[in-house]
Structure 1
């Protein structure tokens, strides 16, 4: 976190960015979708073929 001198208020950012902003990024959602599909495929394989 940046330090500011006493009595001086830091400038507000244009918009707060949190977890929902990170999850709205397309590359992250594609990655999570691929990982989710692989986990689902592994679970289906374990349930029906083993």
Structure 2
């Protein structure tokens, strides 16, 4: 049977999450990869095709 007693209080989670946690999120990494690829393609275009 599932124990649903409320005798113990959970430990507080007041940990600050920093920049590395934010950068480890997949949607942000996909966004940054797309932006980086666009900048790289623009730079290659300017350097070699103009």
Q: Which runs of 5+ in 2 are unaligned?
A: 1-10
**RMSD between superposed Cα atoms in Å:** 1.8
CA deviations on 1:1-49 (whole Å, 9 max, x unpaired) are: xxxxxxxxxx842643110000000000000000000000000000001
How many residues matched? 40
Q: Which has the larger radius of gyration?
A: 2
1:36 corresponds to 2:40: no
TM-score by length of 1: 0.70
